[in-house]
Amino acid sequence: MQRTAALLALLVFALPAMMTAALIWFSLGRPLLFRQVRSGLGGRSFTLVKFRTMHDIRDINGQLLPDVERETALTRLIRAVRFDEIPQFLAILAGEMDFVGPRPLQPATMAAFGPLGMVRCRVRPGLTGWAQVNGNTRLSDTEKLALDIWYIDHRSIALDARILLLTAATLVRGERTRANHIAAALAHLRARSDGVAAGDRLARRAAP
């Protein structure tokens, strides 16, 4: 069903995709697409493809400048309406992503999460997710991880439908943090971490 929906979405967004490509050509030039290796289901790597929305401008030390300094007015608008995400329907069509799930991260970032990184890889990454509808860019990395883990442990069709509806609302009203959802996710993450730590201690005591 997800692949069928992705194919329909590609047909529906064909014209917006062409318009987005033209705007990026005018604003940034080539290349039009941004590609990066991300971790998917089970930690398997795949190449994420999006429309490019930033210049490759670096400081004197060769480090990329902050995102806000590499965007243009046009690409900022493209990001706001999420048209840069249109090529990711191809990843859903290929079975590498779902419509809803934790956002795909780079392998190094997933490895830095330790055991929680493996938990995060239990489901396919998504085009949108629980963290994205609860603040997204306004959240800390810890809050995003907590919301992702909460989603994985409470995943259901009803929750996915709710996230899709909240995604539509976010596109219209902009990003909003939901303190109650964030607090619940952080508490869930603490309880989960305490449980794992207690299990490790018991395992060490039981070891010969």
Which residue type does 70 have? Answer: R
Extended beta strands in the chain, E state: 33-39, 45-51, 98-100, 126-128
For 40, other C-beta atoms within 10 Å of its C-beta total: 20
**What's 137's DSSP letter?**
G
Q: How far is CA 30 from the centre of its chain?
A: 25
Separation between Cα atoms, residue 20 and residue 80, nearest integer Å: 12
Which residue type does 52 have? Answer: R
Band (48; pLDDT cuts 50, 70, 90)? very high
14, HSE (Cβ side, Cα atoms, 13 Å): 5
Q: How far is CA 106 from the centre of its chain?
A: 11
Query: pLDDT > 70: what percent of the chain?
Result: 93
Per residue in 162-189, pLDDT (tens digit) is 999 999 999 888 889 999 999 999 999 9
For residue 35, the model assigns a pLDDT of 94
Q: Is the pLDDT of residue 112 over 60?
A: yes
The tokens describing 170, both together, are 């976010």
Are the C-beta atoms of 11 and 17 separated by less than 8 Å? no
Q: Is the pLDDT of residue 198 over 80?
A: no
The arithmetic mean of pLDDT across residues 21-26, rounded, is 92
The arithmetic mean of pLDDT across residues 51-55, rounded, is 90
Instruction: Spell out the residues 6+ positions from residue 164 whose beta carbon is closer than 8 angstroms to its own.
Output: 99, 100, 128
Nearest Cα neighbor of 32 from 83, 73, 107 is 83
Burial level of 120, CB count in 10 A (0-12/13-18/19+)? buried
The tokens describing 63, both together, are 């480090």
Mean pLDDT, all residues of the chain: 88
Separation between Cα atoms, residue 74 and residue 28, nearest integer Å: 9
